[in-house]
Amino acid sequence: MKNVGVDGSTTLKVYESRGGYVAARKALAMDTNAVVEEVKKANLRGRGGAGFPAGVKWGFLPKDRTTTLLCVNADESEPPTFCNRVLMEHDPHQLIEGTIIAAYATRSQVAYIYMRGEFHEQFHVLQKAIDEAYEAGYLGKKVLGTDYALECYIHRGAGAYVCGEETGLIESLEGKRGQPRIKPPFPAIEGLFRRPTVVNNVETLSCLPHIMERGADWFTGIGPPHSAGPKLFCVSGPVNKPGCYEAAMDITVRELIERDDMGGGMLSGRKVKAVFPGGLSMGVLTVDELDMKMDFEDPRNYSLLGLGTAAAVVVDDATDIRLVLRNVARFYGTESCGQCTQCREGTSWMQRIAQRIESGAGRMEDLDLLLETARNMGMMPGLSICGLSDGATYPIETIVKKFRPELEAAIRSQPAGQVEAVLQAAN
């Protein structure tokens, strides 16, 4: 985030004056395989949610391919996540430079930036930067005066969460209904327009200029070995300084909330009750679990799915956990694309149960029913086509498991006859 906050950071002039496009020049002077090797060595793990090593992903591309396409995943629609937005809004040229490096390394001829539809300003900022880059010869027929040609387009989404899933994104880019594809074939073999395709997140690509400029060793020197390099973290909720902060991945959730140069502690009079540390889909932490490290491995020790988008949203003690449950369930209920039975029906069932619990008509057995539904949606990999289904089960499961006493107390305190009355009225 070195350029964020600098005057005129979105312009080519300022970007160049601060060392911009030097890395791209360096990369283009290298052999493409050498660039891939360097990124592999840096162990750059994907910042889009799954944490898959970028260099390894590029290595899946067939050796004898003639065309390759690069998709930049700028759909950023995981709730409380806005790291990509900051990068595009304040440092668009860094993303373009990263895109050039990735495209060169994968021998891509075209890069499509799939941008979340709600990003209006960011679209204009990025489009202007792309225009500048074309003008200056960083994009186009002769990138940096070499024989390498790269076209770059922005495609704007229409507001579906599932279009951030890489194959949903590809379908949507092709003009189809945005729903994830079955794999195999994986995108690296047959992706966009049936061509070998690489999908990478905005932040992943934004790391590339730094890796090329300062070397893989510099990158792996930051943070723990399995979670190398700087990472952006979002903090939101009732904290003093909600925002996006850069740090190594050895930081804990507590530090993120409390450090003066980050969240700056809770608003006065509020206490932490729960934290979703990786976007909604990874699950929830209680106030006793704030020492979790924000890296790619530690969340597993807290029954979470993973690091996710590293966007922590804090829930304070004034918030009814039933409301949280309802909000979470509603999100997945409306965002499931609906092709897989377990996800389509499971998310919608959980939504209806959560809604009823929130309205004060919960039944004790609803809690087990929620857990079992979650298990039936994700008891084993392979139950659904994409990760949305798992992403829906983790938060529900962890809320019910970790906040069960509070939920039970709330249900117990409902006036007698409430459940029957509500069910009768509804059915």
Partner 1 sequence: MAKIIIDNQELECREGMPVLRAALEAGWDIPHYCYHPGLSVAASCRLCLMEMKMPHPKTREMDWAPKLFPACQTPVRDGLEVRFNSDVVKTAQESCMEFFLLNHPLDCPVCDQAGECCLQDYSYKFGRAESRMVDPKVVNPKKDIGPHTLLYTDRCVTCTRCVRFTREIAGTGELCLVQRGSKNEIDVFPGRPLDNPMQGNVVDICPVGCLLDKDFLFKRRVWELTGTSSICPGCATGCSIRVDHADNRVYRLKPRYNPKVNDWWMCDEGRFGFKYTQDNARIIKPMLRRGREETSPSWREIPDIVRFRFQDHVRASSADKVVAVLSPFMATEEAWLLIRFIREVAPEAALAMGPVPVEGEPQAFPCAPPGAPSMPDVKFTILEEKCPNRRGIEQLLEVSGGTVLTFEAFSEQAAKGDFTAAWIVGGYPKPWVEKDTAKLGSKFGLLVVQDLFENKLTEAAAIVLPACAWVERDGSFVNAKGLAQPFERAISPPDGAMRDGQYLFEIAGFEGLYSGQRVRELMAEATASLTEVYEAPPIPAHAH
> Judged by CB, which is closer to ligand FMN: 164, or 238?
164
Verify binding: residue 398, ligand SF4, rule CB under 6 A.
no
CA dist 405 and 408 (Å) reads 5
Nearest residue to 357 via CA among 287, 274, 423: 423
Single residue of 9, 23, 43, 75 touching ligand FMN by CB under 6 A: 75
- Residue 112 has which token pair? 């499509």
> Judged by CB, which is closer to ligand SF4: 118, or 345?
345
Q: Are 295 and 226 in contact (CB under 8 A)?
A: yes
Question: Which residues are CB-contacts of 302 (< 8 A; sequence separation ≥ 6)?
Answer: 283, 285, 289, 292
**Residue 206 Cβ, how far from partner 1 at the closest point, in Å?**
30
Q: Are 21 and 95 in contact (CB under 8 A)?
A: no
> Judged by CB, which is closer to partner 1: 8, or 338?
338
- Among ligand SF4, partner 1, ligand FMN, none, the one that 356 touches (CB under a kind-dependent 5 to 8 A) is partner 1
CA dist 244 and 254 (Å) reads 15
- Residue 233 has which token pair? 């973290």
* DSSP 3-state of 73: strand
Verify binding: residue 384, ligand SF4, rule CB under 6 A.
yes
**Residue 289 Cβ, how far from ligand FMN at the closest point, in Å?**
24
Single residue of 20, 92, 391, 395 touching ligand FMN by CB under 6 A: 391
Single residue of 36, 113, 321, 343 touching ligand SF4 by CB under 6 A: 343
Nearest residue to 119 via CA among 145, 157, 153: 157
> Judged by CB, which is closer to ligand FMN: 80, or 391?
391
> Judged by CB, which is closer to ligand SF4: 36, or 340?
340
Single residue of 19, 159, 221, 338 touching ligand SF4 by CB under 6 A: 338
Considering only residues 344 to 373 of the shown chain, the ones binding partner 1 according to CB under 8 A are 344-349, 352-353, 356, 363, 369
* DSSP 3-state of 135: helix
Considering only residues 102 to 161 of the shown chain, the ones binding partner 1 according to CB under 8 A are 160
Amino acid occupying residue 218: W
**Residue 197 Cβ, how far from ligand FMN at the closest point, in Å?**
11
* DSSP 3-state of 277: strand
Amino acid occupying residue 173: L
110-115/285-286 β-pairing: unpaired
Considering only residues 205 to 264 of the shown chain, the ones binding partner 1 according to CB under 8 A are none
Residue with tokens 């070195």: 2
Q: How many CB atoms lie within 10 A of CB 364?
A: 12
Verify binding: residue 325, ligand SF4, rule CB under 6 A.
no
**Residue 267 Cβ, how far from ligand SF4 at the closest point, in Å?**
35
| CB crowding 288-313: b at 16 or more within 10 Å, else e | ebbebbbbbebbeebbbbbbbbbbbb
Single residue of 42, 162, 188, 282 touching ligand SF4 by CB under 6 A: 162
Binding site for partner 1 (CB under 8 A): 160, 162, 177, 182, 333-342, 344-349, 352-353, 356, 363, 369, 376, 379-385, 423, 426-427
Binding site for ligand FMN (CB under 6 A): 46-50, 52, 54, 73, 75-78, 161-162, 164-166, 199-201, 204, 386-388, 391
